[in-house]
Amino acid sequence: MRVRVIAVGTRMPAWVASACDDYLTRLNSQLPIALEQIAPAARSPATAAATAIAAEGERLLKALRPGEFVSALDERGAQVSTRELATWLGARMQDGADLAFVIGGPDGLAPAVLARSRYTLALSRLTLPHALARVLLTEQLYRAHSILRGHPYHRD
């Protein structure tokens, strides 16, 4: 099973790249995870957000592979605990299908991307910058996988 995090945005602050790299490095020996960046659509005061969302949606859909289990990150998705995420990830690992998490740009995900998703996950009810969502997702995948491997969880 391979896991990809496909995120809109190519110019992340150094702290985002550093944090994501740290968690991906910790995970890659046990669960291969790759971070792929999608170019954001041009935005201007004259351009409607819907136009940018649609363009980014097309790019995200092109990046997805047939047969991948797609999970979209969206504030209206399921809110789960870390243990519930671990259970969900364990079930995906048992299925054996490749897994792709998609993170939209500053205006969210296109309806077509949400329709392609088989599971929609909310990291929080708070509105998060999409750069921070990358860090939170990679950290939670690391923590969930650690739970699956029997490592002590901080609340146990």
pLDDT digits (tens, 9 = 90+) for 86-119: 999 999 999 999 999 999 998 899 999 999 999 9
CATH of segment(s) 3-41+49-148: 3.40.1280.10
Answer whether residue 9 shows pLDDT above 70.
Answer: yes
How many angstroms separate the first and last alpha carbons of the chain?
Answer: 28
Name the pTM for this structure. Answer: 0.93
For the chain, domain boundaries: 3-41+49-148
Q: What is the pLDDT of residues 39-63, one digit of tens each?
A: 999 888 877 888 999 999 999 999 9
Q: Where are the alpha helices (DSSP H) in 71-148?
A: 82-95, 111-116, 130-148
Residue 98 makes CB contacts below 8 A (sequence gap 6+) with 1, 2, 3, 4, 65, 67, 68, 69
